[in-house]
Amino acid sequence: MLSDNDAQEVRKVFGALVRDVRIKVYTQELECPTCRDTEIILKELDGLSERLKVSFLNLQTDRDEAEKDGVDRAPAIIVSDGTHSRVKFYGTPSGYEFSSLLTTIVDTGGSEEPLIEGTVQFLNDLDKNLDMQVFVTPACPHCPPAAVLASRMARYSSFVRSEVIEANEFPELSRKFKVQGVPRTIVNGIFFAEGSLSETMMTNALRKGLADDPSDETNLLDYLQNN
């Protein structure tokens, strides 16, 4: 699906990889109209760098592996150094979400820590789990920063798990989490944020929200406005 020019540009981007990046792709034959496209895209990426180690699994037949990885729907993509399954993408990585996937791959195999000092300190202080779900669409130019931030936080800390979810491909989840616009970030099923928050805004709001420990759905921006 990549043109020759696009493939050349991706090769240049992958030139920043200094470590192997392990990618697991879960698809299935039935009831997954976008699984085939996802497989094609990841196979093309796999051929653009020796640092990429891509494996393809079937959600229905590789159930033990899927359960271990915490994958319950397809298509699913896990990006890691091979030691965890905390960073997931659900849906076809097309449009702006293709760039989010590329950035996450480079973050994982690159030589520098992209998170700012304040975010690193927040994650080092973290003592409870954060489950971050970021709803996106391929046509949303504001979605990649939110998707990348959640993925970076999950890559850095064993307390964080991130799921970047293509809202149109998983309408039942979009309805459950009241997604009317993207990006929409859900944390622990309680906190939500509309739009793309900066690292500083996200960590400041989460620090206050976790201390507050509300029982009802809460807008993270409320913790910033009340500062």
For residue range 143-173, list pLDDT tens digits in order. Answer: 999 999 999 999 999 999 999 999 999 999 9
Q: Is the domain of 185 the same as that of 208?
A: yes
- Tell whether the model's pLDDT for residue 227 goes beyond 70: no
Give the whole-number percent of the chain exceeding pLDDT 90.
98
* Secondary structure class of 101 (helix, strand, coil): helix
Q: Is the domain of 155 the same as that of 63?
A: no
DSSP string, 124-171: HH--S-EEEEEEE-TT-TTHHHHHHHHHHHHHH-TTEEEEEEETTT-H
Q: Is the domain of 154 the same as that of 205?
A: yes
Average pLDDT over residues 60-65: 97
How far apart (Å, rounded) are the C-alpha atoms in residues 66 and 143?
A: 27
pLDDT, position 225: 80
Average pLDDT score, the chain: 96
Average pLDDT over residues 65-71: 98
Q: Is the domain of 181 the same as that of 213?
A: yes
How distant, in Å, are the alpha carbons of 157, 188, 210 from that of 128? Answer: 11, 11, 9
How far apart (Å, rounded) are the C-alpha atoms in residues 90 and 166?
A: 6
Q: Is the domain of 25 the same as that of 124?
A: no
Q: Is the domain of 125 the same as that of 217?
A: yes
How many domains does the chain contain in total? 2
User: Among 88, 109, 130, where does a domain finish?
Assistant: 109
Q: Is the domain of 153 the same as that of 101?
A: no
Question: Which one is predicted more confidently, 74 or 2?
Answer: 74
Domain enclosing residue 215, as ranges: 117-225
Structure tokens at 95: 């449009």
Among 76, 75, 77, 62, which residue's Cα sits nearest to residue 35? 75
pLDDT, position 226: 61
User: Among 92, 109, 126, where does a domain finish?
Assistant: 109
Q: What is the CATH number of the domain that holds 165?
A: 3.40.30.10
Strands 52-58 and 184-187: unpaired
pTM attached to this predicted model: 0.97
- Tell whether the model's pLDDT for residue 1 goes beyond 90: no
Specify whether the CB–CB gap between 101 and 89 falls below 8 A.
yes
